[in-house]
Amino acid sequence: MEKIDGASLMARSLKQQGVDYMFGIVGFPVVGTAFAAQKAGITFIGMRNEQSASYAAQAASYLTGRPQACLTVSGPGVIHAFAGLANAQQNCWPMILIGGASPVYQNGMGGFQEERQVQLAAPYCKYAHAIEHTERIPYYVEQAVRYAKFGRPGPVYLDFPDDIIRGQVDEEKVVQAATVGESPRTQADPEAVEAALSALESAERPLVIVGKGMAWSQAENEVREFIERTQLPFLASPLGKGVLPDDDPLSVGAARSTALKEADLIVLMGARLNWIMHFGLPPRFRPDVRVVQIDIAPEEIGANVPAEVALAGDGKAIVGQLNRALDNRQWFYPAETAWREQLRGKAQANLEAVQPMIDDESSPMNYYRAYRDIESWLPDDTIIIGEGANTMDIGRTRMVNRAPRHRLDAGTYGTMGIGLGFAVAAAVTNPDQPVVAVQGDSAFGFSGMEIETMVRYKLPVKIVVLNNGGIGGGVGPIEEGKTVPPPILTYGARYEGMMEALGGKGLYVEDPRDLRGALDEAMAFDGPALVNVLIHPRAGRKPQQFEWLTT
């Protein structure tokens, strides 16, 4: 009778469920699982730290629209990957963590790397389960994939013990599982759809906010039609950027604070009123702001601010419903209103406020000067990864996104360390597109060793390190004999030398006049490249009306 082992059955089940990528680090007891995955046609990417592998798996999931996998060894390997589970949960992104585990027959004995993995994974997951019989692997994989993908997406965990991996079962005893299909596209109550349009018609200062839920639900065509037909001003959340082009004439992203503060009605599309959106509360919003909310998770509706109209369901389906309902209304927001005028004025003023910094040729350069060359250098279809404090915040406003799901950053959880894992995932899943990671020097340090992964797999990622020698602001060179302040890193550290040493291309820039040439050289290089750009240690953002993290 034909037999199959647990490792091969896991690989076959994952492949059946559309898992094409597995990021991980092998060792006891999962080496065979990685080999089996390759044999089943899954691309296995061996990373240098499980945190990065777990970040890569979720970015690959978000970018492909299907849950992808992370594979780790037992105990510490699983624990390291929890960083990714927590990040995916906060971002509402799917991923599957498969954690090797000590054999079931040693449970409780103090086995090698024995740990309470399911119990510890559970709080970070939509679903966490141990596989206790080899023949039931397909059952658990189907369930895990379905939970990760359907409804509000999120991470799932499967515990994969050594004896289950090595177990041999008769093919005819293997439990068969159905293939998980596309996510159900649940529609909103038609009365709520009409109520949403009526609410909009009564608003004087309406604003649409596009979040990453719309990017995930692939609602770009529906959102574009809605904005074109209604002519409503809109802005995107950091990862909602690109669902509609940032440089669309109706985008008011350049007047973000004013748009949020003065809007009398917001249409919240797949975005949460959490810290990123200042909780929807004063002083960042009007106390009486009206909310029309689209979200796949009904329990999210009304979070922090009660929703006047609740549109619970799939973003793509619901904006499609709004568009059909518009057929009977012929309504659009007028071209000339005081609201549009105010937003235009504010956007213009913001632009003028940063222009001197953009034009500043002093050396070492400031962020805005650096971004002037980075923005004009970026090809249109680049997948952009931003990570760091000022580097990411200023990058959000300076690097234009014109396509959906082309931007990844620290996200809802504000995680430092995601950058290179995300970059690896972007390059592996989109081999024909440029991938650029712009990181602060601190951010780069969290996962810098992944440049070896990029060299090994020939991933032509271009990394730009905006190097101010610190976490947040730097101080420049540390004086002899002085205590090193906690936020300080080596000023002028030659990170490009690491890339050179490992087999990629490294370039160092001090003078702003050399930046564009270095970026071009990096892009022309057939492989990973790192451009290390010295930034003035006290360079920062333009003066802000509200301090960071103010409510």
Lookup: tokens for 97? 């963590």
Q: How many residues bind Mg ion (CB under 5 A)?
A: 5
Site for ligand ADP in 291-350 (CB under 6 A): 294-297, 300, 314-315
Does 135 help bind Mg ion (rule: CB under 5 A)?
Answer: no
Does 115 help bind ligand ADP (rule: CB under 6 A)?
Answer: no
46 Cβ neighbours under 8 A, 6+ residues apart: 24, 25, 26, 34, 453, 456
Buried b or exposed e, range 445-459, using 16+ CB within 10 angstroms: bbbbebbbbbbeeeb
Whichever of 258 and 390 has its CB closer to Mg ion, that residue is 390
Q: Are strands 234-236 and 206-210 parallel, antiparallel or unpaired?
A: parallel
Compute the distance between CA of residue 262 and CA of residue 236 in angstroms, rounded to an integer.
16
Cβ–Cβ under 8 Å, residues 242 and 403: yes
Q: Pick from 36, 81, 83, 92: which binds ligand ADP (CB under 6 A)?
A: 92
* Shortest distance (Å) from residue 411 CB to ligand ADP: 7
Measure CA 508 to chain center.
Answer: 28
179 Cβ neighbours under 8 A, 6+ residues apart: 16, 17, 18, 142
Name the residue among 513, 479, 425 with its Cα closest to residue 67: 425
Cβ–Cβ under 8 Å, residues 509 and 247: no
Q: Which does 142 bind (CB under 5 to 8 A by kind): ligand ADP, Mg ion, none?
A: none
**Stretch binding ligand ADP (CB under 6 A), from 29-37, 56-64, 105-113, 269-277:** 269-277
* Shortest distance (Å) from residue 2 CB to ligand ADP: 41
* Shortest distance (Å) from residue 236 CB to ligand ADP: 8
Q: Which does 440 bind (CB under 5 to 8 A by kind): ligand ADP, Mg ion, none?
A: Mg ion
**Stretch binding ligand ADP (CB under 6 A), from 95-103, 189-197, 208-216, 479-487:** 208-216
* Shortest distance (Å) from residue 92 CB to ligand ADP: 4
Lookup: tokens for 244? 């509609």
Site for ligand ADP in 283-302 (CB under 6 A): 294-297, 300
Name the residue among 54, 197, 194, 225 with its Cα closest to residue 125: 54
Binding mask 235-264 for ligand ADP (x = CB under 6 A): --x-xx------------------------
Q: Tokens 């000067």 map to which residue?
A: 369
Cβ–Cβ under 8 Å, residues 130 and 164: no
**Stretch binding ligand ADP (CB under 6 A), from 272-280, 416-424, 454-462, 531-539:** 272-280
Q: How many residues bind ligand ADP (CB under 6 A)?
A: 24
Cβ–Cβ under 8 Å, residues 156 and 67: yes
DSSP-derived 3-state class of residue 385: strand
* Shortest distance (Å) from residue 67 CB to ligand ADP: 13
Alpha helices, H only, 178-250: 190-201, 212-216, 220-230
Q: Which does 315 bind (CB under 5 to 8 A by kind): Mg ion, ligand ADP, none?
A: ligand ADP
140 Cβ neighbours under 8 A, 6+ residues apart: 129, 131, 158
Binding mask 433-462 for Mg ion (x = CB under 5 A): -------xxx--------------------
Whichever of 345 and 485 has its CB closer to Mg ion, that residue is 485
Q: Pick from 32, 94, 213, 512: which binds ligand ADP (CB under 6 A)?
A: 213
Compute the distance between CA of residue 509 and CA of residue 474 in angstroms, rounded to an integer.
18
* Shortest distance (Å) from residue 296 CB to ligand ADP: 4
Site for Mg ion in 518-537 (CB under 5 A): none
304 Cβ neighbours under 8 A, 6+ residues apart: 273, 274, 279, 280, 281
Q: Tokens 């719309």 map to which residue?
A: 214
Whichever of 315 and 537 has its CB closer to ligand ADP, that residue is 315
521 Cβ neighbours under 8 A, 6+ residues apart: 505, 507, 529
Whichever of 9 and 267 has its CB closer to ligand ADP, that residue is 267
Q: Pick from 216, 444, 495, 508: which binds ligand ADP (CB under 6 A)?
A: 216
Compute the distance between CA of residue 32 and CA of residue 536 in angstroms, rounded to an integer.
49
- CB closest to ligand ADP, residue no: 213
Q: Which does 412 bind (CB under 5 to 8 A by kind): Mg ion, ligand ADP, none?
A: ligand ADP
Provide the β-strand partners of residue 21.
43
The DSSP secondary-structure symbol of 488 reads B
Does 212 help bind ligand ADP (rule: CB under 6 A)?
Answer: yes
Binding mask 444-473 for ligand ADP (x = CB under 6 A): ------------------------------
**Stretch binding ligand ADP (CB under 6 A), from 69-77, 211-219, 225-233, 513-521:** 211-219
**Stretch binding ligand ADP (CB under 6 A), from 233-241, 243-251, 343-351, 384-392:** 233-241
Q: Which does 441 bind (CB under 5 to 8 A by kind): ligand ADP, Mg ion, none?
A: Mg ion
Compute the distance between CA of residue 478 and CA of residue 49 in angstroms, rounded to an integer.
30
Name the residue among 93, 91, 99, 151 with its Cα closest to residue 122: 99
Binding site for ligand ADP (CB under 6 A): 91-92, 152, 211-213, 216-217, 237, 239-240, 270-272, 274, 276, 294-297, 300, 314-315, 412
Which residues of this chain interact with Mg ion, rule CB under 5 A?
440-442, 468, 470
